[in-house]
Amino acid sequence: MELFLRKRKTKALFPMFVAITLFLLQFWAVMAQITHNESSTQSSNNSPSATSTRYLSSSSPSSTRKLFSFRSRWRRRRRRNKVNRASMEFLFAHNLVRARVGEPPLEWDGRLAAYARVWANQRVGDCRLVHSNGPFGENIFWAGQNNWRPMDIVKVWADENKFYDVKANTCESGQMCGHYTQIVWRDSTKVGCARVDCSNGGIYAICVYNPLGNYEGENPFGSYQDQIGLLRQDPPAATIV
Q: Find the helix or strand (DSSP H, E) in which 150 lies.
A: helix 150-158
| pLDDT one-digit tens code per residue, 58-94 | 345 565 566 666 676 666 655 554 568 899 999 999 9
| Letter string b/e over residues 62-72, b meaning 16 or more CB atoms within 10 A of that residue's CB | eeeeeeeeeee
Confidence band of 200 (pLDDT split at 50, 70, 90) = confident
For the chain, how are helix, strand and coil distributed in percent, rounded to 5?
A: 50, 15, 35
Distance between CA atoms of 130 and 186, rounded to whole angstroms? Answer: 25
Report pLDDT for 117: 96
Are 213 and 230 contacting, i.e. CB atoms less than 8 angstroms apart?
A: no
Would you list the domain boundaries of the chain? 85-210
Range name among 12-16, 63-67, 111-115 with the lowest pLDDT average: 12-16
> What are residue 190's DSSP bridge partners?
107, 210
Query: Phi then psi for 209, rounded to 5 degrees?
Result: -125, 145
Better-predicted residue by pLDDT, 57 or 160: 160
Quote the distance between the C-alpha of residue 155 and its chain's center. 22
Report pLDDT for 191: 97
Q: How, if at all, do strands 164-165 and 137-143 pair?
A: unpaired
Report pLDDT for 227: 39
Is domain 85-210 annotated with CATH 3.40.190.10?
A: no
Q: pTM score, two decimals? A: 0.61
- Average pLDDT of the chain? 75
Confidence band of 29 (pLDDT split at 50, 70, 90) = low
Are 214 and 233 contacting, i.e. CB atoms less than 8 angstroms apart?
A: yes
Rg (CA), the chain: 35
| pLDDT one-digit tens code per residue, 36-51 | 544 544 444 444 433 3
For the chain, first and last CA: distance in Å?
Answer: 114
Range name among 37-51, 75-89, 106-120, 181-195 with the lowest pLDDT average: 37-51
Query: Phi then psi for 123, rounded to 5 degrees?
Result: -100, 5
Confidence band of 154 (pLDDT split at 50, 70, 90) = very high
C-alpha dihedral over 93, 96, 98, 104, to 10 degrees? 110
Q: Is the pLDDT of residue 100 over 90?
A: yes
Residues 6+ apart with CB under 8 A from 210: 109, 112, 136, 137, 188, 189, 190, 191
